[in-house]
Structure 1
Amino acid sequence: MSTLYFSRARLRAGRGEALAPLARALLGIAKGDALAQAHRIVWMLFNDGSERPIVDASGKERLFLWREKSPGEYYILSREAPDNRHRLFDLDTQEFAPKLNAGDTLRFSLRANPVVSLKRAWEAGEEKRDGKGRVRGQRCDIVMAALEPLEGKRTRDKRTEPTDKERLKPTERAEKREAETARVARAWLEGQGRKAGFALVPNPDAEGDKVFLSASNYETVRIPRIRGDGAIFGVLDFEGLIEVTDPALFLARLPDGFGKAKAFGCGLMLIRRG
């Protein structure tokens, strides 16, 4: 596997530093605007500040992952060392090469945009098919997809309100939302693990089929764009314990990230030994 780099980058925002006004602005703007700005700022560590794709000698796009630690501070995992040519950051970069064995237990933290593909051709008014003639699914936030039945039923033309019999009390709805979020979050992460060489660790002290996993702080984020309505996606924070089942596969998969919206601070799994 090629060399990976893990970096901690903090905007130089002290008194008299050129970037101080921007760092203060990041504290006071909406979440989506802040992520859009952070995306552009972190990008500057890997190219000249333009929006051109980052590609290697073969023409393949090079991916880096990042996550906001706090406004103006970022964790970054990359396949090349960041270049602080603009001297905008206090930057600490180290090679990332953990020695892992099958059966190792790791604590992890992951901020992700987990999605599922649903076949909802009627919503677009016509079927969308791929190159093989199959009906294409619509990418959907897993939490939104799970909670939709609690908010009302859909028909071909519109969403209908639940009947009195179907209607839930606020406390019941909150409990169901929490349970459904936990259920789909676990299922999604287990699916990621099967493809990436890890498994969730069972919790022997909990009742039922429980694992060491929490999924919290769900929110939807709107990223503004010059044209159109911008992008909207859901963000969920995962924390818990995983067991490494295939070290080589896990380390190869880690720099690719998990879920979508990786350009906007999602997908980077932070790990440490338990």
Structure 2
Amino acid sequence: MYLSKITLEPSSQAAREILRLGPKGSYGSHQLLWTLFSDQDNRNFLFREELGVAGLPLFYTLSQTPPQTDSPVFAVQTKQFAPSLKAGDRLAYRLRANPTVAKKNDSGKSARHDVLMNAKRAAKTGKEKTGKEKTADQISQLMYEAAKGWLADEHRQRSWGLTLDFLPDASNYRQHRSLKPNGREIKYSSIDYEGVLTVTDAAKFLQRYAQGFGRAKAFGCGLMMLRKLAY
């Protein structure tokens, strides 16, 4: 695997690309980053977008092949990434994820729903049943508790080869809208998690790490940033 830090060059071409990203949102960022992996037919990278210097986009990517470094648009710093981990290792993590839950609709078909909005709807349904209306702060708290519970789900932790040392901090909940070239609108949500985890199965964890955590990986979710902690 290769871990890369990617910034935009101070050039007129880069400025044009920023303007072009506009309504495309994270989908546009994904398409732009893909130019660094033009030798690949299918996406083989995860990415995370942050605000860099002067409000310009800053990207981190995790890829199976190294990105091209001769781009007129990007300045690329890349290194091979092969962490040596074992059960019991503790890691500080940051993760932008798209927490969803499968629910059946009226026709009996299963569909994915935003975990936080699902909690919000449940709070309103509770009001209809009890006649007691929750405050906006109470509803917000329930939404964030649901988001934390999604990441802390025991089955999910086992399947990912980790345990959370404590419930994560959760912040920066956002609902996104991106446009594809054909004009189709894509809607998804994201939330930022931060905390400490312990590796329980290194092989399973690294396999999941390479694949990304959760959904919406083409839109900047799923790349976990790690820092090893002392025992």
TM-score scaled by length of structure 1 = 0.73
- Please state if 1:173 is matched with 2:146: no
Q: 1:64 aligns with which of 41, 45, 68?
A: 45
Helix, strand or coil at the partner of 1:99: coil
1:130-150 per-residue CA deviation (whole Å, 9 max, x = no partner) reads xxxxxxx11111111122122
Matching residue of 1:22: 17
Q: Unpaired segments of 5 or more residues in structure 1?
A: 49-53, 56-60, 129-136, 154-160, 202-210
Question: Using a 3 Å threshold, how does the CA distance of structure 1 residues 229 and 194 change in structure 2: closer, same or farther?
Answer: same
Counterpart position of 1:197: 161
| Aligned match of 2:116 | 143
| Aligned counterpart for 1:260 among listed residues 215, 224, 227 | 215
Deviation at residue 230 of structure 1 after TM alignment: 1.1
- Once the two structures are TM-superposed, the CA of residue 64 in structure 1 deviates from its matched residue by 0.9
Larger radius of gyration: 1
Q: Which residue of 1 aligns with 2:148?
A: 185
Judged with a 3 Å threshold, the aligned counterparts in structure 2 of structure 1 residues 35 and 150 are, in CA distance, closer, same or farther, namely same
Q: Give the Cα separation in 2 of the matches to 1:5 and 1:236.
A: 25
Other structure's SS at 1:45 match: helix
The answer to which structure has the higher strand fraction is: 2
Percent identical: 33
CA distance 1:21–1:226, change in 2 (3 Å): closer
Matched residue type, 1:182 = E
Matched residues in 2 for 1:226 and 1:82: separation?
A: 24
Kept in 2: contact 1:186–1:213 (CA 8 A): no
Cα separation, partners in 2 of 1:127 and 1:162, compared to 1, 3 Å: closer
Specify the alignment match of 2:31 in structure 1. 40
Q: Count matched residues.
A: 224
Structure 2: unaligned runs, 5 residues or longer: none
Find the counterpart in structure 1 of residue 82 from structure 2: 97
Shift of 1:255: 1.2
CA distance in 1, matches of 2:29, 2:183: 21
Aligned to 2:62: 77
Is residue 2:229 matched to residue 1:234?
no
Deviations along 1:29-68, whole A, 9 cap, x unmatched? 46xx3322211111111116xxxxx44xxxxx45210010
Higher helix proportion: 2
Give RMSD over aligned pairs: 2.4
Q: Which position in structure 2 is the counterpart of 1:207?
A: none
Paired residue for 1:9, among 6, 14, 22? 6
Question: What TM-score does the superposition give when structure 2 sets the normalisation length?
Answer: 0.86
